[in-house]
Amino acid sequence: MTTPQDVFLVGLDVPGDRPVEQGDLSLALAGAELIDLLGVRALTLEGERIVPGPLPTTGNRLLDEAGAALVRGEPYETVEDWLWRRGQGLAAAYRDVLESEGQLTGRPRRWPSLRRAGGAPADTPARRRAADRWWAREPVLAGLAAALGIRDGRPAAQEPDDEAVVTVLVAVGDAVTELEAVRERRRIENAAFDNIWRAP
């Protein structure tokens, strides 16, 4: 399993401050892909710019697609730009793959909230691996989950040692915050519009 798949499953199974939104999860998944690609040396970071390396052959279709999608011409893409570009629809893509592999048995397909209304989660190997990594307080998974508002009351996990990984985690947190600010502006604008039509 990959970090993005673990992030997706933790987003389903671990209670957070708020329901995980599809857009937020997609941004976190795009960040998780970068971190896994860093791990297999398919890219490096120069500051915030993504410098691609050899095309990866990880055996995971979505991760290999992510490696192939890296911008290979200068000036290279920034981490922030990658998150917004690669993140479009990414949560749905991971959901479809996990469903096709039988890892989400018993889960409804309703969006935007990813959480199940009731009942126990399906006990699958992927869920067990993600849960093991979560309870071990693995720094990368904990950092991505924190950006999604997923915490369990335990002390914060240790920050990763790798500066490039920290750069990606910070970018994910900033992007999720920016997306929530956009949602809030829309809510305010919609409320103001409704009030105009309701005024006597």
Q: What is the 3-state secondary structure (H, E, C) of the chain?
A: CCHHHHHHHHHHHCCECCCCCHHHHHHHHHHHHHHHHHHCCCEEEECCEEEECCCCCCCCHHHHHHHHCCCCCCCCCEHHHHHHHHCCCHHHHHHHHHHHCCCCCCCCCCCCCCCCCCCCCCCCHHHHHHHHHHHCCCHHHHHHHHHCCECCCCCCCCCCCCHHHHHHHHHHHHHHHHHHHHHHHHHHHHHHHHHHHHCC
Distances in Å between the alpha carbon of 18 and those of 15, 25, 86? 8, 12, 24
Residues in a beta bridge with 46 = 49
**Which two tokens mark 200?**
């006597």
- Residue 119 pLDDT > 50: no
Residues in a beta bridge with 50 = 45
pLDDT of residue 106: 46
pLDDT-based confidence at residue 159 (cuts at 50, 70, 90): confident
Q: What is the pLDDT of residues 68-77, one digit of tens each?
A: 999 999 999 9
Global pTM reads 0.85
Q: Which residue has the tokens 């990606």?
A: 168
Q: What is the pLDDT of residues 19-36, one digit of tens each?
A: 888 999 999 999 999 999
Burial letters 9-23, b for 16+ CB under 10 A, else e: bbbbbbebeeebbbb
Say if CB 143 and CB 3 are below 8 A apart: no
CA dist 73 and 137 (Å) reads 37
147 against 107, higher pLDDT = 147
Question: Mean pLDDT, the chain, as a whole number?
Answer: 85
CA dist 198 and 200 (Å) reads 6
Say if CB 192 and CB 58 are below 8 A apart: no
User: How much of the chain exceeds pLDDT 90, in percent?
Assistant: 56
pLDDT of residue 194: 62
Q: Which residue ranges make up each domain of the chain?
A: 3-198
pLDDT-based confidence at residue 118 (cuts at 50, 70, 90): very low
Spatial neighbors of 113 by CB under 8 A, at least 6 apart, are 19, 20, 21
- Residue 188 pLDDT > 90: no
pLDDT-based confidence at residue 105 (cuts at 50, 70, 90): low
